[in-house]
Amino acid sequence: MKVVGITGGIGSGKTTTCKIFEQLNVPVYYADIRAKELMLHNEQLRSKIIQAFGEKAYSNGHLNREYLAKVVFSSKEKLSVLNGLVHPAVGADFEAWLEEHESAKYVLKEAAILFESGAYHNVDVTVLVIAPKEVRIDRVTERDGFTRDEVLKRMNNQWTQERKAKLADHIINNDGTELLIPQVLELHRKFSS
Ligand code: ATP
């Protein structure tokens, strides 16, 4: 079974693209969503996060996302501490998930920082979803109600599209001028063969 890593910068449309693959019955592991679930429900991970970031990391049993985001998106060092705690937990969870889907021809692993984290070394093939910076900013401000500066802060913690494109095996253009579905169908044919 092939593991296809799919990534793209904030607002590029990677989740939208994955939803199309799901319509084709391709199992998709959403690493970022899963990471948030593990941060909440995995006791070991939770206590390590509290050790590193203090009790404030959680409030009323919930992950204090606002606080954590403020801390990690203003310090590269803190971001890498958090990633160092979360990534091994997600890695183990993904391995278990893979076993559940071993009969699939291929699966997708969606991760925002597939290249930055080095996780791309552990997948068979990579797909990068791209869209121009201004389009991505507009999409995210509309979707999340973030300010332009908040989106830019997050973007600055990710590699540029150009840097990622050099490593990607396939690129999906989601700038709004090219339809997504035919691009997904073409890759689906390739990955299924
Ligand atoms: P993030 O990393 O922030 O989770 P993402 O790369 O997963 O972002 P999506 O959530 O798929 O991006 O898309 C961002 C927003 O842009 C969503 O509201 C989505 O509906 C919208 N969007 C994505 N692709 C298109 C498109 N081709 N045309 C119009 N809107 C789009």
Strands, E assignment, 54-185: 58-59, 62-63, 106-110, 125-130, 170-173
- As given in the structure block, the two tokens for residue 163 are 């840097």
- CA of residue 14 to ligand 1 center, whole Å: 7
- CA of residue 12 to ligand 1 center, whole Å: 6
pLDDT level of residue 13 (50, 70, 90 thresholds): very high
- Phi first, then psi: give them for residue 61, nearest 5 degrees: 80, -5
- As given in the structure block, the two tokens for residue 23 are 């319509």
Q: Which residue has the tokens 């705690």?
A: 85
Q: Which CATH superfamily is domain 1-27+104-193 in?
A: P-loop containing nucleotide triphosphate hydrolases (3.40.50.300)
pLDDT tens by residue, 35-76? 999 999 999 999 999 999 999 999 998 999 999 989 998 888
Cβ neighbours of residue 50 closer than 8 Å, sequence gap 6 or more = 57, 58
Q: For position 117, what pLDDT does the model report?
A: 85
Q: For position 73, what pLDDT does the model report?
A: 81
pLDDT tens by residue, 129-151? 999 999 999 999 999 999 999 99
pLDDT level of residue 93 (50, 70, 90 thresholds): very high
The stretch 143-165 carries a mean pLDDT of 94
Enumerate residues lining ligand 1, CB below 6 A: 8, 10-16, 112, 139-140, 143, 174, 176, 180
Q: Which CATH superfamily is domain 31-100 in?
A: P-loop containing nucleotide triphosphate hydrolases (3.40.50.300)
Nearest-CA residue for ligand 1 atom 21 is 139
The stretch 86-108 carries a mean pLDDT of 95
The stretch 140-163 carries a mean pLDDT of 94
Q: For position 58, what pLDDT does the model report?
A: 96
Whether the predicted pLDDT of 177 surpasses 90: yes
Domain ranges for the chain: 1-27+104-193, 31-100
Q: Tell me the Cα Rg of the chain.
A: 17
Distance CA 132, CA 174 (A): 9
The stretch 14-37 carries a mean pLDDT of 97
Q: Do 71 and 78 form a contact (C-beta atoms < 8 A)? A: yes
Q: Do 1 and 100 form a contact (C-beta atoms < 8 A)? A: no
Q: Above pLDDT 70, what percent of the chain?
A: 100
The answer to whether domain 1-27+104-193 and domain 31-100 are alike in fold is yes
